[in-house]
């Protein structure tokens, strides 16, 4: 088989694109956060509440309490039994980006997570939800680029 130079470039650049993909391949929400609709985000968060409490000091449910999640380490609570996949990420923080990837597709972002949730595919819905989650803190993490 003969491969010409143009075909080779296409092959190589698609290999590079695949290897540099964000871990669940969700479109970035960073530019949307400042204008996000926090009230709409709070409604989307009802999807999480069968498994998560949001208030400061509230007990864990099937999933861990999410107060102050953004800017905290993965698997940060001592009183919750995380999956080993989540525990393995303990030294990394939940940023706007990592949360965006995780909420887009939990299983692809963190293989082996025990969060049984398909994810939120709509980028606007994710931005609104994450803007709402940001408010669950005594000192919310600055928005990206601020």
Contact window for ligand HEC (CB under 6 A) among 10-18, 23-31, 83-91, 138-146: 83-91
How long a stretch of residues is the chain?
Answer: 146
CB proximity list for 73: less than 8 A, separation 6 or greater: 90, 91, 92, 93, 94
Cβ of residue 135: shortest distance to ligand HEC, in angstroms? 13
Size of the site for ligand HEC (CB under 6 A): 26
State which of residues 28, 97, 114, 144 lies at the interface with ligand HEC (CB under 6 A). Answer: 114
Q: How far is CA 46 from the centre of its chain?
A: 17
- Would you say 7 or 66 has its CB closer to ligand HEC? 66
CA distance 74 to 130: 16
In the block, tokens 């928005």 appear at 143
Phi-psi region of 110 (alpha: psi -120 to 50; beta: other; left: phi over 0): beta
Q: Which of residues 6-35 bind ligand HEC (CB under 6 A)?
A: none
Phi, psi (degrees; rounded to nearest 5) at 73: -70, 155
Cβ of residue 35: shortest distance to ligand HEC, in angstroms? 20
Contact window for ligand HEC (CB under 6 A) among 6-14, 15-23, 47-55, 135-143: 47-55
In the complex, the residues that contact ligand HEC under the rule CB under 6 A are 47-48, 50-52, 62-64, 66, 69, 74-77, 82-83, 85-86, 99, 103, 113-117, 120
């Amino acid at each position: 088989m003969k491969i010409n130079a143009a075909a080779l470039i296409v092959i190589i650049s698609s290999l590079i694109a695949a290897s540099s993909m964000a871990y669940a391949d969700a479109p970035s929400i960073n530019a949307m956060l400042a204008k996000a609709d926090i009230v709409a985000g709070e409604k989307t968060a009802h999807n999480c509440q069968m498994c998560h409490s949001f208030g400061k000091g509230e007990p864990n449910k099937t999933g861990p309490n999410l107060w102050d999640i953004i800017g905290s380490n993965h698997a940060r609570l001592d009183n919750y039994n995380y999956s080993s996949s989540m525990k393995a990420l303990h030294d990394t923080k939940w940023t706007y980006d990592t949360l965006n990837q995780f909420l887009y597709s939990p299983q692809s972002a963190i293989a082996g997570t025990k969060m049984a949730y398909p994810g939120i595919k709509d980028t606007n819905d994710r931005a609104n939800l994450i803007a709402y989650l940001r408010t669950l803190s005594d000192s919310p993490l600055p928005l990206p680029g601020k």
